[in-house]
Amino acid sequence: MTWETLESTCKNCSKCALANGRRNVVIGRGCKTADVLFVGEGPGENEDKQGIPFVGQAGELLDLALASIGYGEGDYYIANVVKCRPPQNRNPEPDECEACLPYLRAQFALIKPKIIVCLGSIAANNMIAKDIRITKARGTWVDKQGTLFMPTYHPAALLRDPSKKADMWEDLKKVYDKLKEIRA
């Protein structure tokens, strides 16, 4: 699949009920040849308005963390498990994730990242294992067929509980160091 096909397929998608309430399909942002793919849950209100992922408060915090650690814009791409906003920002339902995951898999196939960072439990449960608990699994590498997965907190969790910040910074630094190691 090409990016053009993927984008037009997503924009015309009506595979689940989330399509009914969307203003925009939120596909992704960042470098399309990046070594790191960040995966969140689903678009919120600002993302739905702008058609770009992680542009609200949680996204600002993520961008700040990445820039302060040293990530450059060419290092990462950001997408979500579901590409349309769930009403009232509820968690996406399993059938909605199931319907949308082929698009994320297509993004993975196009980008070919070496590392996937799962932001929060919805991403980790859909991409690593159904029973993963973020508080336990965060900061630990999971190797799946040569791709390294790093589960960590969703940045929105840090807005609710700033005491989680140090842990998330540590996880993002671990990913950055691995990126350097892979490239060396």
Under a CB-based contact definition with an 8 Å cutoff, are residues 136 and 48 in contact? no
Q: How far is the CB of 30 from ligand URA (least distance, A)?
A: 12
Nearest residue to 25 via CA among 66, 75, 83 = 83
Q: How far is the CB of 180 from ligand URA (least distance, A)?
A: 26
Binding site for ligand URA (CB under 6 A): 40-44, 47, 53-54, 56, 58-59, 80, 156
Helices (H), the chain: 3-11, 18-21, 45-50, 57-69, 94-111, 121-127, 134-137, 155-160, 165-183
Q: How far is the CB of 95 from ligand URA (least distance, A)?
A: 18
Q: Which residue minimizes CB distance to ligand URA?
A: 40
DSSP state of 164: G
Residue 133 or 180: the one with the smaller Cβ distance to ligand URA is 133
Q: How far is the CB of 149 from ligand URA (least distance, A)?
A: 17
Residue 40 or 151: the one with the smaller Cβ distance to ligand URA is 40
DSSP state of 90: P
